A and B are shown apart, each in its own frame.
Chain A
Amino acid sequence: MRAQVFVTLKPSVFDPQGRTIADALHSLGYAGVEDVRQGKYFELDLVTMEPSAARALAAEVADKLLANPVIESYRIEVS
């Protein structure tokens, strides 16, 4: 199976890169973009064919390495 892991900064954490991208978009005339948050995206190819096992393994990997719980949270999708 494939697990997709989306890692983003927690809402309470300031994202200087996202803010800079938002500023750049505003200077390009995209006034309709209110704010930008930058994150990370991972695709994990997993041996298991079991969705619940895939989700559990992806969560374990995210907790251990992919995300830093002090500043980041994550969301998982399996397919």
Chain B
Amino acid sequence: MTCAVVVFPGSNCDQDAYHAVKDVVGQDAEYVWHKATSLGNADAVILPGGFAHGDYLRTGAMARFSPIMRAVEAFAAAGGPVLGVCNGFQILLEAGLLPGAMLRNSGLKFRCEHVHVRVEQIDTPFTCRCREGQVLRIPIAHGEGNYFAAPDVVDRLERQRQVVFRYTTAEGVVTDQANPNGSTAAIAGLCNEARNVVGLMPHPERACESALGSADGLFVLESVVEWLARRANRPVLERVASVG
């Protein structure tokens, strides 16, 4: 797998994502500057965390118009796996690749700590190595992660199984205390209708080595490797089946 890590002016988790993909998961990674117009031969794309364009105006508002986002939109429309982490998630929301918006954390604090998220869906490129209901321990670091969408949109997300991660206790129970930012329905991560674009506020790339406190983020990054391998094999299997 070759994973493109998009770098915006103000991205600050790009090196973490690159390190996790390249050195820990053992796949190829390439930085792609936000002014580029092509993702090259990337099989997967990560929009990393940080403060793209200084978070001026709104988080992700300006990054949405960076030239590379036209290529990311085309890649997503063609079914390519796209992961937005933290600020990358905010960019996906502003770009309309995922529904909803982020508000300031309900407690107004910048929350920087390990949290627990429950994996709600395992049929996405970034959760296919997880068990349904598995609880991951992953750090967050954000001031604006209070997910908001109109009630009818949230209903639709639930009905279409687009809520991929939810903040819970270590035991996997949704409580007000386990929700670090006031997100609607304790939503920590989402996917689009086609399920190939996933955004989440916690940072899996910062939780890929036990020396860093948790290696649970590997479930997310290794999922996409497996998902791509399955996709590559699928036509072969279908061909064999039709001949047999």
Contacts and interface: CB of A to CB of B under 8 A. Distances in A.
Task: Judge: A and B partners, yes or no.
Answer: yes
Interface of A: 9, 12-14, 16-17, 20, 40, 65-66, 68, 70-71
B148 to A, nearest CB: 6
A16 B104 contact: yes
A68 B101 contact: yes
Contacts of B148: 13, 70-71
Interface centre among B57, B108, B149 (most CB of A within 10 A): B57
Interface of B: 57-58, 61-62, 65, 93-94, 99-101, 103-108, 146, 148-150, 182
A49 B99 CA distance: 38
A70 B106 contact: no
B58 A16 contact: no
A17 B108 contact: yes
Contacts, number: 38
Contacts of A20: 108
Nearest to A42: B57
17 contacts: A9-B103, A13-B148, A14-B106, A16-B105, A16-B146, A20-B108, A40-B57, A65-B61, A65-B65, A68-B58, A68-B61, A68-B94, A68-B101, A70-B101, A70-B149, A70-B150, A71-B101
B190 to A, nearest CB: 13
Nearest to B60: A68
A16 B57 contact: no
Contact of A16 (B93, B101, B103): B103
Nearest to B151: A12
A65 B108 contact: no
Contact of A65 (B57, B146, B150, B182): B57
A70 to B, nearest CB: 4
Contacts of B93: 70
A23 to B, nearest CB: 11
A70 B108 CA distance: 20
